[in-house]
Structure formats: C-alpha cells, structure tokens
C-alpha cells in the first residue's frame, strides 16, 4: 500500500522545483505544524470500556484557521491524516479562501456502534482536542462516515467545555444548527463551473460531448443532473455495485427513478451493464471519477479513452497513473480544484456563523461561481506559463499563496 504522506511530499517537491521555492519555506512545508494523537475511552452499551485512537493533523495556518474533515474508518492512520491535511492546505489555497489545512480521524468501524456509543465517541474525541480547535483556530467538518448529526454533538460538546457559543467551530452542520444552504450540492456545482470554463478553453459543445461518471452519490449524482441540464450527453454512470452504459446518452431523470424503484442500476432498459472498472475505459470525452481514491492506476491509465478527467473524488488518480495520462495528453482537472466547491461553501458557512448571517442558496452560488471561475483561470494561466499539468499548476499556485503568507 502506498504511503499517502510520501505521495504528498513527492507532489510538494515537484512543485517546489518548478517554481524555485525558497529552501526555508520548502523545509517548513514538509511537516505539519502540529499533530494530535489521542486515546478516546468509550463506555460501550455492554458496560465495558473500549479505547479508540484518534488524530488531528494541523498542517499549516498561514492562510487562516486549519480546515478539514474528521473521518471514522478502520484504516485511518497518522500518515493518512497528515497527507489529507496537506492536500486541504493546497485545496483551500487553490481557491483562495482564508483557511489552512487540517484533517482528523478515529480508527473505528462506526457501523458496529449503536447511536449512543457513536455519540459518546464523538463527544469523547472533542473532550481530547477541544483546546486546539475553535472558529479562529481549527474548524473541523464531516468526512467519511461522519454526518451533520455527529457534527452537532461535537459542536455541543465543544461549547459546553468552552462555556459559550462558537457556532463557527464546525461546518457541515444541519441547516437548523447553522449549516449553510447549498452545501449538499456545492461540490458538484463547483465542478460544473469548472467544466464550463474548460469547455470554453477547448471549444467543447455540450451536445456533442459524452461524459462517463463513476459514482452517483452526493457528488456524482448531482454532477450527472447538472451536466445533463447543461446539455452534456451522460453515456455512463455507476454506483458502488456497478454501472450502465448507453452510447447515445442516458435519460438521467429515468435513471434516478429506476434506481429509486429497484435500488440498483442493473437492468436499466436500453443500456448495457458495466463494472466500475469498465466504466473508466469507455468511449467518452470527459471522465468524472467521483467515488473512491486510487481508481485510475498504472494498470488502467493507458486504456483511458477520455481526453479530459475531472477529479470529483479525492485522489482518484495515483501519481504513476498521472504521468501516463500526461504522456497521452489527457487533461486532468485535479481534485484540489475540481471538487473545491465543497470546502468553499464550508468556508461560507463559517463566515455566516461568525457574522450571524443566513444566506439563501442563490446568494451562496452567486458567491461560489466567480471564485471557482477565478481559481480555474489562475490554474490554467499557471499551467500555460510553466508548460506543466493542471495538477502541478494548482500546487504551484497554492504554494505561491501559502509561501507569500509565511513569516520566517
């Protein structure tokens, strides 16, 4: 298994060489500012106490408070949260929001916990880290297997310990608890703004452009609906069990209705069933991996027929596959740009909480669109200036911003 933090450091090194980064700043950026490792004892429903290991990596706060999710998963590791906090720093700086990079996690299979055990675990984790977070210090959010409900418990526990309200301490809350309108569709909406800008650069006509989407959860599903409404031909889509393909385009309304009725995509009339692996290699101009990481690898990269990959999942392309795609002149819009609509609207939630404001969904997207358009333009300009990939360009642009704020 590849060490994700080593991958992150390779990306940092590449960008540092391209931009001739100051040695001292490069040294600073090779390590997180602080990593918390905590043991969280939880009284289980049976009466026994189990101790869970948790982490919080605070990578760099030159741009603003640390920002990043908390995941509950058996495979959470120190290297994973360090890498993810580094990528959050890059993502926030790519779209130029006033936040730094953070990430947290607990080693747990949350599906095996009762609701009471889950609440005690979530509150216990905050009891261990509360002095190191806050709306002006570090702002967590949901991630894998954490929910608005869990964020609500965490915020409540934090405020109890703090002794007063601080609604901006955590984002990704339920709307009733101060969450932002538009958050659910924000990641996909940001991705669509980026696709529109790319279409202008490459002269793509939506009606003649085929799109294959891996994943139809919150991100992939909304992406399919929004691109379809823009006139793109969605020729393939999948869920975790597999997908469907129809060369002249799928009727997305009918697909979602079928999935709702049957619980599956398999057997959708007029389409052929495909596996998630096969979907990646179909004939389409645009491929949108929006499910799991490490989907495009050294094994399948050379078989990818799409000319554009829009990374809506985090880390769907391995570093080796990235090089193969670059050799084949495939344009990869990297995750740190493509899916940054989510963290941007999280930043808006934080801003609304801090100012005691409530914005409508229309106001949220009216602020999101120019930020995504500008970020795309800056990454594209950096790509052209250095003659590098869009991923390298996003890293260079982000590190330029962070470096300009670091005081040595």
Q: Which helix (H) or strand (E) holds 29?
A: helix 23-29
Q: Partners of 139 in the beta sheet?
A: 67
Q: What is the DSSP string of 90-143?
A: HHHHHTT-S-EEEEEEEE--GGGS-HHHHHHHHHHHHHHHGGG-BTTTEEEEE-
User: Is-contact 75 82, C-beta < 8 A?
Assistant: no
What distance in Å separates the CA atoms of residue 157 and residue 332, rounded to the nearest whole number? 41
Nearest to residue 34, comparing CAs of 166, 132, 163?
132
Instruction: Check if 103 is active-site.
Output: yes
- In 240-357 the beta strands, taken as DSSP E runs, fall at 242-245, 272-274, 286-289, 308-310, 331-333
Backbone CA torsion sign across 160, 161, 166, 168: negative
Catalytic residue among 91, 103, 246, 259: 103
Using a 10 angstrom Cβ sphere, with 0-12 exposed, 13-18 middle and 19 or more buried, the burial of residue 387 is exposed
Catalytic residues: 103
């Amino acid at each position: 298994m590849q060490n994700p933090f080593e991958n992150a450091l390779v990306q940092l090194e590449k960008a540092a060489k391209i931009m001739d980064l100051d040695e001292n700043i490069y040294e600073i950026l090779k390590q997180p500012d602080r990593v918390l490792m905590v043991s969280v004892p939880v009284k289980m429903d049976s009466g026994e106490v189990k101790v869970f290991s948790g982490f919080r990596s605070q990578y760099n706060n030159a741009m603003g408070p640390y920002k990043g999710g908390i995941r509950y998963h058996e495979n959470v590791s120190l290297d994973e949260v360090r890498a993810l906090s580094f990528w959050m720093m890059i993502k926030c700086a790519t779209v130029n929001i006033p936040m730094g990079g953070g990430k947290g996690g607990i080693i747990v299979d949350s599906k095996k916990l009762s609701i009471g055990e889950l609440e005690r675990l979530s509150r216990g984790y905050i009891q261990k880290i509360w002095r190191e977070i806050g709306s002006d210090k570090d702002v967590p959010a949901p991630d894998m297997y954490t929910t608005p409900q869990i964020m609500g418990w965490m915020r409540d526990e934090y405020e109890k310990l703090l002794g007063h309200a601080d609604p901006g301490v955590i984002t990704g809350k339920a709307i009733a608890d101060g969450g932002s309108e538009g958050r659910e569709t924000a990641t996909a909406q940001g991705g669509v703004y980026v696709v529109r800008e790319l279409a202008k650069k490459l002269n793509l006509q939506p009606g003649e452009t085929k799109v294959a989407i891996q994943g139809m959860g919150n991100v992939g599903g909304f992406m399919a609906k929004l691109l379809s409404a823009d006139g793109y031909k969605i020729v393939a889509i999948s869920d975790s069990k597999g997908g469907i393909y129809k060369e002249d385009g799928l009727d997305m309304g009918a697909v979602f209705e079928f999935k709702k009725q049957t619980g599956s995509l398999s057997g959708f009339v007029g389409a052929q069933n495909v596996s998630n692996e096969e979907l990646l290699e179909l004939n389409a101009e645009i491929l949108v991996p929006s499910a799991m990481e490490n989907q495009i690898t050294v094994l399948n990269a050379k078989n990818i027929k799409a000319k554009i990959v829009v990374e809506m999942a985090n880390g769907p392309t391995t570093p080796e596959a990235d090089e193969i795609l670059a050799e084949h002149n495939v344009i990869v819009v990297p995750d740190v740009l493509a899916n940054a609509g989510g963290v941007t609207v999280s930043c808006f939630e934080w801003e609304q909480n801090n100012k005691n404001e409530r914005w409508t969904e229309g106001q949220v997207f009216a602020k999101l669109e120019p930020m995504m358009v500008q970020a795309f333009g800056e990454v594209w300009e950096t790509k052209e200036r250095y003659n590098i990939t869009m991923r390298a360009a996003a890293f260079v642009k982000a590190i330029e911003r962070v470096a300009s704020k670091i005081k040595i």
